[in-house]
């Protein structure tokens, strides 16, 4: 039975289980599809089934999201590389997965709101969405660690079921005091106690806490979800104010009247907190400007430099983080690429089909070997330059290959049964 037929049987099996709201076991899947036990476990471990299969009890699973998707869409998701994982793939709880999606959406909405040039006063909206996003992320973490009951309060006298607050989440999630918790707590204080004072004049100092808060969120989100919060090719997450000067009381009074003193006090207290803490996880220090450098050949750079140093400072800036695009998109060394291709071929196609296309056998199974792989690379001419399929790491003198390379090789082999034979002949006579 070809892999496409096996996947279709699995798709139809999930639809039946979801329609009847019936739990199932791995053995039922194996009988229905003809898969080996290792195939299902591989799909599940890579997170490729996270949208459709959830753990429900001991050795039992529950089907979801299979009724509103076509087989082509289902097949595409199932065929994704292990490096392309969906949000919540490592969560057992459906509620945790849902909270992660809402959390990500709310933080993205907070950033979009803050970076919208047409809005003069956007701080209060950002603060509310920022706190909601953190609360949802922390609740998802608590559910996975302690179970769904951990995020609920005891029933009140009216019998209403309520969830715990963001402050309660912080106490449960962070056992010890640290600057990340302090940052969230400070911004939560702004939401609860001073949102009416968050006027444009305090944006300069407040934005430094916000920027650190977003960086903290991005770090914890990726650590927990195993995927980035936001695409690394995007520009800066918040437009920081490069300079902050405490507004004059007389100027504030002319705009806000008696509330001016409260606004000035808030600005001064925030400035004092940033100076005393002097920790990037709490707030960007007052003598530092954060910028996203222009993209170079090796990837996007994030640099720190003194604000008053201008262009000279930028040229001498310290690189504190560098993401290398090639190592993100080209994850396979040659041996790893061959293993991935062989695994996908045997998941999707039966032995008779593969025997016609792969001349090499190992343990009586048709396989792609090193010579086959090199023959294909030679025929496809990928090594002539760095491209979406191949990248040469000059310092390590290593060739690495992308998910697209794996998929393209599988496509060439399966669509033309003589393609590999032709490639090997060409490689032999090179």
Give the Å distances, CA to CA, from 121 to 115, 194, 197. Answer: 11, 14, 11
DSSP string for 299-347: EEEEEEE-GGGHHHHHHTPEEEEEEEHHHHH--EEHHHHHHHHHHHHHH
pLDDT given at position 2: 57
Q: pTM of the full predicted structure? A: 0.52
- Taking the C-alpha atoms of residue 256 and residue 153, their distance in angstroms, rounded to an integer, is 40
86 CB neighbour count, 10 Å cutoff? 18
pLDDT given at position 264: 81
- CATH code of 3-78, in short, is 1.10.10
pLDDT at 165 over 80: yes
Q: How far is CA 46 from the centre of its chain?
A: 14
The DSSP letter of residue 175 is: S
Specify the higher pLDDT residue, 25 or 155: 25
Task: Calculate helix-pair angle for 179-193, 260-277, nearest 10 degrees.
Answer: 180
- Taking the C-alpha atoms of residue 235 and residue 239, their distance in angstroms, rounded to an integer, is 10
Tens digit of each residue's pLDDT (9 = 90 or more) over 202-234: 777 888 888 889 989 988 998 888 788 876 444
- Taking the C-alpha atoms of residue 63 and residue 52, their distance in angstroms, rounded to an integer, is 6
Residue ranges of the chain that CATH labels 1.10.10: 3-78
pLDDT given at position 131: 95
Specify the higher pLDDT residue, 57 or 335: 335
Contacts of 197 (CB under 8 A, 6+ apart): 259, 262, 263, 266
pLDDT at 84 over 80: no
Tens digit of each residue's pLDDT (9 = 90 or more) over 236-269: 455 544 445 666 677 777 777 877 788 788 888 8
Specify the higher pLDDT residue, 361 or 199: 361
pLDDT given at position 188: 92
Specify the higher pLDDT residue, 120 or 14: 14
pLDDT given at position 238: 55
pLDDT given at position 384: 84
Query: Across all residues in the chain, what is the average pLDDT?
Result: 80
Tens digit of each residue's pLDDT (9 = 90 or more) over 301-334: 444 444 334 333 433 443 333 344 566 788 899 9
3-state secondary structure of 194: coil
pLDDT at 99 over 90: yes
Side-chain-facing half-sphere of 34: CA atoms under 13 Å: 14
The DSSP letter of residue 413 is: H
- Taking the C-alpha atoms of residue 96 and residue 271, their distance in angstroms, rounded to an integer, is 37
257 CB neighbour count, 10 Å cutoff? 9
Pair of tokens at residue 206: 């407040």
pLDDT given at position 340: 92
CB 236 within 8 A of CB 292: yes
pLDDT given at position 247: 64
Tens digit of each residue's pLDDT (9 = 90 or more) over 134-151: 999 999 999 999 988 999
CB 268 within 8 A of CB 258: no
- Taking the C-alpha atoms of residue 103 and residue 169, their distance in angstroms, rounded to an integer, is 14
Q: What is the mean pLDDT of residues 377-400?
A: 87
pLDDT at 96 over 80: yes
């Amino acid at each position: 039975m070809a892999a496409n037929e096996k996947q279709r049987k699995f798709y139809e099996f999930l639809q039946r289980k979801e329609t009847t709201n019936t739990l199932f076991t791995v053995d039922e899947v194996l009988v229905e599809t003809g898969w080996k036990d290792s195939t299902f476990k591989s799909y599940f471990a890579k997170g490729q089934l996270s949208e459709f299969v959830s753990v429900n009890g001991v050795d039992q699973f529950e089907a979801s999201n299979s009724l509103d998707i076509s087989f082509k869409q289902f097949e595409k998701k199932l065929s994704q590389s292990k490096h392309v994982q969906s949000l919540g793939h490592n969560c057992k709880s459906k509620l945790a997965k849902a909270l992660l999606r809402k959390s990500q959406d709310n933080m993205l909405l907070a950033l979009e709101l803050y970076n919208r040039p047409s809005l003069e006063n956007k701080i209060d909206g950002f603060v509310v969405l920022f706190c909601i996003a953190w609360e949802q992320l922390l609740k998802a973490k608590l559910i996975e660690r302690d179970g769904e009951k951990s995020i609920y309060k005891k029933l009140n006298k009216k019998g209403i079921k309520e969830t715990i607050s963001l402050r309660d989440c912080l106490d449960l999630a962070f056992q010890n005091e640290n600057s990340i918790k302090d940052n969230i707590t400070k911004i939560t204080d702004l939401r609860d106690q001073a949102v009416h004072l968050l006027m444009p004049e305090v944006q300069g100092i407040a934005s430094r806490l916000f920027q650190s808060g977003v960086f903290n969120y991005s770090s914890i989100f990726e650590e927990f979800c195993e995927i980035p919060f936001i695409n690394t090719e995007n520009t800066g997450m918040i437009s920081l104010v490069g300079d902050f000067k405490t507004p004059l009381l007389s100027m504030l009074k002319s705009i806000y009247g008696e509330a001016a003193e409260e606004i000035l006090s808030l600005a001064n207290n925030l400035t004092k907190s940033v100076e005393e803490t002097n920790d990037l996880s709490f707030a960007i220090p007052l003598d530092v400007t954060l910028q996203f450098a222009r993209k170079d050949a090796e990837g996007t750079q994030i640099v720190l430099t003194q604000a008053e140093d201008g262009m000279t400072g930028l040229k001498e800036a310290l690189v504190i983080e560098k993401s290398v695009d090639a190592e993100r998109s080209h994850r396979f060394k040659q041996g790893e690429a061959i293993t991935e291709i062989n695994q996908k071929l045997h998941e999707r196609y039966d032995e008779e089909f593969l025997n016609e296309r792969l001349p090499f056998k190992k343990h009586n199974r048709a396989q792609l070997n090193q010579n086959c792989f090199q023959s294909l690379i030679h025929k496809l001419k990928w090594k002539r330059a760095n491209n979406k399929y191949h990248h040469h790491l000059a310092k390590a003198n290593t060739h690495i290959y992308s998910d697209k390379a794996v998929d393209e090789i599988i496509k060439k082999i399966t669509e033309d049964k003589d393609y590999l034979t032709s490639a090997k002949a060409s490689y032999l006579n090179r």
